Chains A and B, each alone.
Chain A
């Protein structure tokens, strides 16, 4: 096996997103907290039907350090309902969707499960990627090796505070896409898009050819359109999860995501 082989296998997420991007689409990646509602998998299917290009599945953690009040509340509610990492992965293996799924969780759950076991369980459930926001470049080596081996794309984050030389190194290590952090702060809805969101996207364009999606502080169709003048796509979390916390089901989730989809399509067209 050549050293390149795992990267080729890990390319499912990247290939899919690249193909969409190269076809002139802006990428839309909604975030759904696993286990938040009994019908959360239907929510996932609904947002895919509404035009998501990939879905980020949040595996809830007790101490979500980079998350604001909405995702915190969703995480605690999902935990209260008995959600576990193994349970989420098992449920995902049973679901049929037409776009790649990417889990987002905190490192302790990965560490506790064991790198190899976690990576393999994701792969065997058909999960294409993983985002572990508290695992920065220097700490990611051991996990990335196992994820590469299993064919799971580890999506790395670049922040407004990241220097350009460091951003280059992070992009080199990122698989699937590069997650640009739109603002200095935690996840959550904001009245307006931070200037840093477009700045990060513009900076990333000069250092990588991977798809660049911006998340954190992108809450509305308008903000998504604004950031997509520079970025390839957006991750939308809190704005969707807040609706779910307020009782929205698959239909309302699809309506919201569909609205963002149409706005992005109008931009690309």
Chain B
């Protein structure tokens, strides 16, 4: 697998020029231990079988692919949704946390620490911890604890301790910093359960492998719907980029065009340049001197100034492209999918949908097939969207 596209990174944890392991020396041994543990477990049939079992009987996998007949007709394309909103906890995040919790248990660690932005990963981590009888500490930016108060309560119901982060910009990037700081001090007993394809090696690789199930399932399901063919376009939203990485992994060796859609206000590929933060080299929003900029969008889950290093590599070699969607068109897409298909999407995948809606009939030719990963359901966002819509008409 090594050397092939979306296979293993090089021994230094690089995908082309990106990735690596830029962490304080205190954490290097823990990253090495994790790399060895995952390499061993992932080659082990029993580990994979247990993961598959849990994701099936507990997580509800496989999730279906739904063809959107009414919206397809309206857009003049053939739109298929990979329904990660139907997985337990309401998003693709469960795939990753179940895998990491099993790995943590295998390594003899009894506590998970996680960062969260919108709360989806925090809820998933708290869920996995409850399922396996582990402790869970979730760091969440103070601003996000207000924006996503219900998710804070969900995590607490699940037995996790939510630690508001008051440092820096008090959002996702600062929650990552705090989780890393906590991990340094508690590394003997604690596994850092990172939520996306980011951070130091081996995390971007581990999380992509654990999310690969999304793309692999979708590929088979698309072939059933498309008479054995692959979709012309494969589209997913990107913050750190885990649902996109998992989706792309299933299609990278096909002729499908791969598109990641970032929030216009959190666009590392659109507005960033290469840099190093949170243990990885990737594209980052930063100023002239290299100070990291704060991301800003209506979606807390995409408010991240960086992007997973493998996405930076896929963009550099031209295998995937990265586009942006703005807040207003995202709100439109959110409502349109709700009305035409009876599916309320999370704001994050509504970005991917907004791009498809904008490009349908132009860049995406009439009649083309599009697979879009609906990475999560919108229940968490309805209160915020209600407030945004009552503020004034974007439409």
Interface residues of A (CB under 8 A from B): 61-66, 68-69, 72, 76, 79, 84-86, 107-109, 111-113, 133-139, 156-163, 166, 170, 181, 184-186
Contacts and interface: CB of A to CB of B under 8 A. Distances in A.
Given A113-B290, A185-B184, A134 B279 contact: yes
A161 B25 CA distance: 8
Interface in B308-328: none
A84 B291 CA distance: 9
Most buried by B among A65, A113, A135, A158: A65
A161 B291 contact: no
A107 B276 contact: yes
B24 interface: yes
A66 B30 CA distance: 15
A166 B277 CA distance: 24
Nearest to B188: A184
A184 B25 contact: no
19 contacts: A65-B23, A65-B180, A76-B167, A84-B289, A85-B289, A107-B276, A108-B277, A108-B286, A108-B292, A111-B290, A139-B21, A157-B25, A160-B26, A161-B25, A161-B29, A166-B29, A170-B25, A184-B184, A186-B184
Contacts of A69: 167
A181 B22 contact: no
Contacts of A160: 26
Given A72-B167, A136-B24, A184-B26, A65 B181 contact: yes
Contacts of A62: 168, 291-292
Contacts of B185: 184-186
A63 B292 contact: yes
A135 B24 CA distance: 7
Contact of A76 (B26, B168, B184, B292): B168
A85 B287 CA distance: 12
B12 interface: yes
Nearest to A61: B291
B289 A111 contact: no
Interface of B: 12, 20-30, 167-168, 173-174, 177, 180-181, 184-185, 187-188, 274-279, 281, 284, 286, 288-292
B28 A136 contact: yes
A135 B26 contact: no
B248 to A, nearest CB: 26
Contacts of B290: 61, 85, 108-109, 111-113
A76 B185 CA distance: 23
B22 A136 contact: yes
Given A109-B290, A112-B286, A186-B185, A65 B24 contact: yes
Contacts of B288: 112
A72 to B, nearest CB: 5
B148 to A, nearest CB: 22
Nearest to B281: A111
Contacts of A84: 289
B284 to A, nearest CB: 8
A79 B12 contact: no
A161 B26 contact: yes
A141 to B, nearest CB: 10
Given A65-B180, A160-B26, 19 more contacts: A65-B177, A65-B278, A68-B181, A72-B167, A85-B289, A108-B277, A108-B292, A111-B281, A134-B22, A134-B23, A137-B25, A138-B12, A139-B21, A139-B22, A161-B26, A161-B28, A162-B28, A186-B184, A186-B185
B23 A136 contact: yes
Most buried by A among B25, B26, B174, B291: B25
A181 B26 contact: yes
B168 A108 contact: no
A153 to B, nearest CB: 17
A213 B374 CA distance: 53
B168 A184 contact: no
Contacts of A108: 275-277, 284, 286, 290, 292
A86 B289 contact: yes
Nearest to B294: A62
Contacts of A109: 289-291
Contacts of B292: 62-63, 108
Most buried by A among B29, B30, B173: B29
Nearest to A187: B181
Contact of B173 (A63, A113, A133, A159): A63
